[in-house]
Amino acid sequence: MERNRIRQAMQFRSSPPPPADDIAATVAWLRDRELIKDIYSRYAYAVDAIDVDLLRTVFHPDCVIVGTMEEGGLEDYIQGLVESLPAYEATMHFKGNQYVEMAGDTAFVESWVLGYHREAADSPIDSLLLGLRYQDDLIRVGDDWRIIRRKATRQFHEGPFPRPYIGEPPYPRKAHGSRGRDA
């Protein structure tokens, strides 16, 4: 039953490439797909680095986010991440299967993702593994793309979700930002 419910919720449609003999259209189509897919790598890096500036390059300022603990506008979502992520010793986010559908200056992307949220070895609670499905509407902004609406659906989790408050962590993780990788 659960599998059928998930399949019915999926919104796969057709997004064929341009004709093979139209080189310019094919290059533009491939470029847009790569720019869109890059958003998800940027998102994972920004969340794991707690890099708010980089995270803002993923979303349109008017983005609406539903289905997460920080449901609402972009600023509420970012604030929720900034407040919750440092409680973990480390996080690591991965994108899995991804479906991209483009139509002019808009796109729909469905992504299956895993988020590992590691507790310290001496933590009284277990680490969290979170499986999510993102359904994102994107729009073209100049030469790039931004998420304008995100619907997040929890597929499964192992460990406490949401994380209970157990006091300030003895290992507060600080945001290091994307500029830190050059140091």
Tens-place pLDDT, residues 67-105: 866 678 999 999 988 888 888 889 999 999 999 999 999
pLDDT beyond 90 at 14: no
Check residue 91 and give its pLDDT.
92
Q: Region 147-158: what's the mean pLDDT?
A: 93
List, in order of start, the domains of the chain with CATH numbers: 24-160 (3.10.450.50)
Q: What is the dihedral of CA 124, 130, 136, 142, to 10 degrees?
A: 60
Instruction: Please state the φ and ψ torsions of residue 125, each to the nearest 5 degrees.
Output: -120, 160
| CA dist., res. 68 & res. 44, Å (int) | 16
Per the DSSP assignment, residues forming a β-bridge with 66 are 151
pLDDT beyond 80 at 8: no
| CA dist., res. 104 & res. 82, Å (int) | 34
- Better-scored residue on pLDDT, 60 or 83: 60
pLDDT beyond 80 at 9: no
pLDDT bracket for residue 166 (50, 70, 90)? low
Maximal C-alpha separation, the chain: 62
Q: Give just the sign of the alpha carbon dihedral 52, 58, 64, 69.
A: negative
pLDDT beyond 50 at 124: yes
Residues 170/142, Cβ–Cβ less than 8 Å: no
Task: Answer whether 0.85 is exceeded by the pTM.
Answer: no
**How do residues 27-57 score in pLDDT, each as one tens digit?**
999 999 999 999 999 999 999 999 999 999 9
Q: Region 105-114: what's the mean pLDDT?
A: 96
For tokens 């050059």, the residue is 182
For tokens 């093979």, the residue is 20
What value, to the nearest 5°, has the Cα angle with vertex 118 and ends 67 and 49? 75
Q: Region 110-116: what's the mean pLDDT?
A: 95
The per-residue pLDDT of the chain, averaged, comes to 85
When mean pLDDT is compared across 18-27, 62-71, 90-99, 137-146, the lowest value belongs to 62-71
Distance (Å) of CA 10 to CA 35, 110, 156, 176: 23, 8, 16, 36
- Better-scored residue on pLDDT, 178 or 48: 48
Closest CA to 19 of 29, 11, 9: 29
